[in-house]
Amino acid sequence: MNTILALAGVVLKELYRRKDFYVLFVLTALLTLLMGSVNFFHDRNIVRYLREICLLLIWMSALVIAITTTARQLPAEREQRTIFPLLAKPVTRGQVLAGKFLGCWLACGVALLVFYAFLGVVSGARAGQWPVWQYLQVFWLHWVMLGIVVAFVLFGSLVFAAPSSNATISFVLVLGILYLGRYLNNIALQQPEPMRTVVYTVYFLIPHLEWYDVRDLLVYEKGLIGWVNCGLVTLYGAAYSGLLLFAAWLVFRRKRLNL
């Protein structure tokens, strides 16, 4: 366990050193503060618009951080040849995968925490309300979803040739699932056989990332989601992440590391 934590710590330090997070946070902060300073026709719903825009920026920034950070982990170790002394310590390949996953997931959590804290301060200052539990639920479900994304990209880094192709394919698939995945069952009903069975199979096999998109909880100030439901989708996310990591381990344990 100490080995896994040490590997995760290296990934966290990498996040601090790179400029990706700082650029995305500054951009999100500037756009949010700019929108918050504008009063459109004295509209009382400006706080709602502010939250909606800021949450969209947070989701896009979090995906960029999660995918780009994860996509370069194993290829960078291989290109810099640091993977060889690492495995000679000895560290198992399973520990390397677990450490990389934990580090990337914790890095996403740190970034999310900063983003949501900023949103809470700005939104609370405008509205005079501080729905802490709602923010915690939205933050937690978002973080669980990113765990699935990190595991998927880590698996992709062992399958695709380059980090750029892995990141591009991951972005396309993740955005496709987020915006189209929920409609696949309805699309399947309109298809003849055997296409209907194929689409239904895809619908049940893909990770339903859209379940974790609960931005409306903050935008429209809805009540809390049932904690039992939060627990179930958390277990679903953990199971899917574990399945993807297991698949990555099966590939990694047989993959040649020679350049």
- What does the pLDDT look like over 63-110, one tens digit per residue? 998 998 888 888 877 777 777 777 777 778 888 888 889 989 998 888
CA torsion sign, 60 to 62 to 66 to 69? positive
Q: Residue 40: what pLDDT?
A: 47
Band of pLDDT at residue 41, cut at 50, 70 and 90 = very low
* Cα dihedral 249, 253, 258, 259 in deg (nearest 10): -20
Q: What percent of the chain has pLDDT above 90?
A: 18
Instruction: Supply the mean pLDDT for the chain.
Output: 82
Cα-based angle 131, 138, 66 (whole degrees, multiple of 5): 140
Q: Residue 204: what pLDDT?
A: 85
Band of pLDDT at residue 126, cut at 50, 70 and 90 = low
User: CA–CA separation, 157 vs 166, rounded Å?
Assistant: 6
User: CA–CA separation, 184 vs 67, rounded Å?
Assistant: 24
Token pair belonging to 65: 């951080």
Give the CA distances from residue 154 to residues 13, 100, 107, 251, in Å, rounded to whole numbers and listed in that order: 18, 8, 14, 11
Does the pLDDT at position 245 exceed 70?
A: yes
Range 7-12 average pLDDT: 76
DSSP character for 257?
A: -
49, 53, 220: which is closest to 131 by C-alpha?
Answer: 220
> Within 13 Å, how many C-alpha atoms sit on residue 17's CB side?
7
49-63, 89-103, 113-127, 132-146: which range is least confident on average?
A: 113-127
Neighbours of 200 (CB within 10 A): 16
Q: Residue 235: what pLDDT?
A: 95
Band of pLDDT at residue 149, cut at 50, 70 and 90 = very high
Are 193 and 106 in contact by the 8 Å Cβ rule? The answer is: no
Does the pLDDT at position 243 exceed 90?
A: yes
